[in-house]
Amino acid sequence: MDNNAIARRFYRLAALMEIRGDDPFRWRSYRNAAEAIEVWPTSLKEIAEKGGEEGLQEIPGVGKAIAKKVIELLERGSFDAWDRLTAETPETVIDLTEIPGIGPKTAALLHQRFKVSSLPDLKLFVAGGGLKMVDGIGPKTAEKIKEALENY
């Protein structure tokens, strides 16, 4: 697993935490670590092999907890926090935020109240006129979402 794949996992973790309404300090720390990992010139795998957790903690934004998650990610391709979170909230909920007009709060509302957890679910929901029931989505935003789904 290369640095970009590791950074992507932490970006997705942060996005999922934001959608769920988790503590902003926590999801921002994962996003900050992802930003640093993404541009770090040395392979995290190489750093972990040579310096372990301590070596990884030299990267800005990577503390003890994130270093442990990086090692677990390198060893088994996932980590416990990710597994627990995605068991409660499907990773595909993040994809909803790729549609213009749907941010983290709306994605959370769609998932929690209407059980929309993927783009195919969203297409069915929109086709059935479901957007009319969503607080905060007016006619213009609804039209933007419909157009984006048609082009997706």
Residues 61 and 16 in one domain: yes
Residues 7 and 77 in one domain: yes
Q: For the range 117-126, what are the long-range contacts, defined as Cβ-Cβ under 8 Å and sequence gap of 24 or more? A: 117/89, 117/90, 117/92, 117/93, 118/90, 118/92, 118/93, 119/92, 119/95, 119/149, 119/152, 122/96, 122/149, 123/149
Exposed/middle/buried for residue 20 (C-beta within 10 Å: 0-12, 13-18, 19+): middle
Please determine, for residue 151, whether its predicted confidence score (pLDDT) is greater than 90.
no
pLDDT tens-digit profile of 17-70? Answer: 999 999 999 999 999 999 999 999 999 999 999 999 999 999 999 999 999 999
Residues 81 and 98 in one domain: no
- Entry pTM: 0.86
Residues 80 and 134 in one domain: no
Please determine, for residue 86, whether its predicted confidence score (pLDDT) is greater than 90.
yes
Residues 10 and 46 in one domain: yes
Residues 75 and 120 in one domain: no
Please determine, for residue 136, whether its predicted confidence score (pLDDT) is greater than 90.
no
The pLDDT value recorded for residue 152 is: 78
Q: Using 50, 70 and 90 to split pLDDT, how confident is the model at 130? A: very high
Residues 20 and 82 in one domain: yes
Counting the structural domains of the chain, the total is 2
Residues 140 and 78 in one domain: no
- What is the share, in percent, of the chain residues with pLDDT greater than 90? 95
Domain range enclosing 104: 91-151
